[in-house]
Homo-oligomer: A and B are copies of this chain.
Amino acid sequence: MKRKITLKQIAKELDVSISTVSKALRNSVEISEDTKQKVQAFAKLYNYRPNNIALSLKNRKTNTIGIIIPEIVHHFFSKVISGVETVANNRGYNVIVGLSNESFSKEVINMEMLANGSIDGFILSISKETLQQQDYHHFNETMSQGMPIVMFDRVIADIKCDKVIVDDYKGSKNAVEKLITNGCKSIALITTKDYVSVGKLRTQGYLEALHEHKMTPKAELILKIDDTLDYEVHLDALELEIEQLFKSNKKIDGVFAVNELYALSAMKVARKLGLDIPNDIQVIGFTDGVLSKHATPSLTTVSQHAQQMGETAANLLIDKLENEFDDEKEEEFQTVVIATELIERESTK
């Protein structure tokens, strides 16, 4: 078990100084051809590679970006990571992953852990608990230390940083309009509590679509789910609530759900009640997931282009990292909006 070879060892072996070796390997004109050849051959033989950590320390730059997400076992987030990773790798960066598990304290701890020199900047999506508590000091502190943050999907308007979001509002509006165009007269909405910003925006899109088509929103058609519950319990409760909704509003002929699971649950309950999809009831979900594609019937959804969100976020962050010259200028932050796309499948006519 031989340790990785260092400049020092090469220098010793070849009986030259460390800096000579360093220069020779970087093909400096200061060094004679002879020495260069000798050193380079030796380095190649022993497969010399500069130590990243030493470089990071010296350059005060790690070439690593940290990504903090609420959950990794989730198609949307893993797709975002995939996008980040692709761009990061192409531009010479590594990606280090932290999971908040939707917990405020884990989010804080993870960020502190990484902020102490391990990374150059963050890409993150805020945990539900943080959104609820509305405690954002850790983001501001991180940035005040000169570490840039790019937020995606779950963002906060008040925080000054780059952001990548989806046009939740417009995407939802389009989806609901699609249902209206398809002839739905009584459209239910299955959404989350309002503190999740995206849930709120998607709800607004729903309302606006109804409004524009002179349809009166009815409170009894809007189901706001408390998604802080344990997953299994949540799912059962969800189905019960949806069943209740359908039973007390027999006229429902369209459902817009703000995520994939809600949409699938709606389809399941509808089937159970003997309703045909899409003839009796049409359903649209909001997501990029695999479930939609393979469901029976397959689910029409608003696609978020998660991969593209990740790529965009990574580019924004790396651009910022590599353009620190404008230190004096007032910092400018961008918010990139990724267009959604309605993917029509079998759950709509």
> Could you list which residues of chain A lie within 8 angstroms of chain B, going by C-beta atoms?
1-4, 47, 49-54, 56-57, 62, 64, 72-75, 78-79, 81-82, 85, 89, 94-99, 110, 112-118, 141, 144-146, 261, 264, 268, 271, 290-291, 294-296, 327
Closest residue of chain B to A110 (Cβ to Cβ) is B89
Per assembly, the copies of the chain total: 2
CB distance from A142 to the nearest CB of B (A): 10
Residue contact A144 to B56, C-beta cutoff 8 Å: no
The 9 sampled A-B contact pairs (Cβ below 8 Å) are A49-B116, A52-B116, A72-B82, A73-B82, A85-B99, A94-B96, A94-B113, A291-B294, A295-B296
Closest B residue, CB atoms, query A106: B89
Give the CA-CA distance A53 to B62 in the complex, in Å: 8
Which of B53, B95, B96 sits near A53, CB closer than 8 Å? Answer: B53
Q: A146 contacts which chain B residues (CB < 8 A)?
A: 1-4
Contact A112 B53 (CB under 8 A): no
Q: In the complex the two chains form, what is the Cα distance from A97 to B4 in whole Å?
A: 22
Known: A73-B75, A97-B85, A294-B295. A118 touches B53 (CB 8 A): yes
A144 close to B1 (CB less than 8 A): yes
Q: List, in ascending order, chain B residues with CB within 8 A of A56's CB.
A: 53
Tell me the bound Cα distance from A268 to B293 in angstroms.
12
- Contact A118 B79, CB 8 Å, known A4-B145, A144-B1, A295-B294: no
Q: In the complex, which residues of chain B have a beta carbon less than 8 angstroms from the beta carbon of A85?
A: 72, 97-99
Knowing that A73-B82, A89-B110 are A-B contacts, what are 16 other residue pairs whose CB atoms are under 8 Å apart, sorted by A's residue number?
Answer: A1-B146, A4-B115, A51-B57, A54-B117, A64-B118, A73-B75, A82-B99, A85-B97, A89-B99, A94-B114, A95-B97, A95-B98, A96-B96, A97-B97, A294-B295, A295-B296
